[in-house]
Amino acid sequence: MIRILKLVATLAVLGFAGLVGYAYLGDMSPARQDISQPVSLNVGG
């Protein structure tokens, strides 16, 4: 029983370390692109 608990604790620590590593090293920046669209204004009409 203790061996299973040690395995679960080890996997939890490794999973947390992997998540932290991915957060710091993973490229999670969004792709940027400029979008322009003409707007017609009905001024004085």
pLDDT at 45: 57
Per DSSP, the three-state class of 5 is helix
Distances (CA, A) of 33 to 28, 30, 40: 16, 10, 23
Is 38 a domain residue? no
CA distance 31 to 39: 25
Please indicate whether residue 8 or residue 45 has the higher confidence score (pLDDT). 8
In a domain, 34, yes or no: no
**Radius of gyration over alpha carbons of the chain, in Å?**
26
Q: Mind listing the pLDDT tens digit for each residue in 12-35?
A: 999 999 999 988 887 777 888 999
Asked if residue 15 belongs to a domain, the reply is: yes
For tokens 């620590």, the residue is: 13
What is the pTM (predicted TM-score) of this model?
0.55
Distance between CA atoms of residues 32 and 21, nearest Å: 24
Whether the pLDDT of residue 4 is over 70: the answer is: yes
Domains identified in the chain, total number: 1
Q: Say if 4 falls within a structural domain.
A: yes
For residue 7, being part of any structural domain is answered with yes
Q: Is residue 22 part of a domain?
A: yes
Establish if 33 belongs to a structural domain: no
Is 41 a member of any domain?
Answer: no
Find the domain containing 15 and state its range.
1-26
